[in-house]
Amino acid sequence: MAVQEDHPYTHNLPDEPWDWEGISLHLLYSNIDQGSGNGKSPWGRRKHRLRWLGKPRAIPQLILKLEDPQFRESALHLLSSFLFQKREEDPENYYRAGFLLFHSCGTMAILIQEVLLIYRMMADGSLNNRACMRLINVIILFQCIAANRETRQKLMKSCIVNFLVPLVLFVSTLEVYDNVRAVALSVFGILCQARESSAVQWAIENEVVEVCLISMDTGNELTKVIGLHIVESILRVDFGISYLFSPAADHLLNRLMRTWDDLVNQIAVAHNFSPRILFHTIRCYTLLCHDERGHNLVKQSLPKSFINGTFHENLKEFPVIRRLLSQLLLIAGINDS
String of DSSP letters for 82-144: HHHHHTTT-HHHHHHHHHHHHHSTTHHHHHHHHHHHHHHHHHHT---HHHHHHHHHHHHHHHH
Grade residue 196 by pLDDT with cuts at 50, 70 and 90: confident
Residue 39, pLDDT above cutoff 50: no
pLDDT of residue 51: 56
Higher per-residue confidence, 59 vs 178: 178
Q: How far apart are alpha carbons 323 and 273 in whole angstroms? A: 17
Q: How far apart are alpha carbons 58 and 143 in whole angstroms? A: 20
> What is the 3-class SS of 303-322, one letter each residue?
CHHHHCCCCCCHHHHCHHHH
What residues contact residue 200 under an 8 Å CB cut-off, 6+ apart?
A: 192, 233, 234, 237, 239, 240
What residues contact residue 180 under an 8 Å CB cut-off, 6+ apart?
A: 132, 135, 136, 139, 167, 172
Mean pLDDT of 327-331: 94
Higher per-residue confidence, 195 vs 316: 316
Grade residue 54 by pLDDT with cuts at 50, 70 and 90: low
Side chain identity at residue 73, one-letter code: E
> pTM of the predicted model, to two decimals?
0.83
pLDDT of residue 6: 37
Q: How far apart are alpha carbons 96 and 217 in whole angstroms? A: 36
Q: Note the Cα 58 to chain centre separation in Å.
A: 27
Mean pLDDT of 69-85: 89
Residue 76, pLDDT above cutoff 50: yes
Mean pLDDT of 160-170: 95
Task: Give all domains of the chain, ordered by start, each with its CATH number.
Answer: 20-226 (1.25.10.10), 245-337 (no CATH)
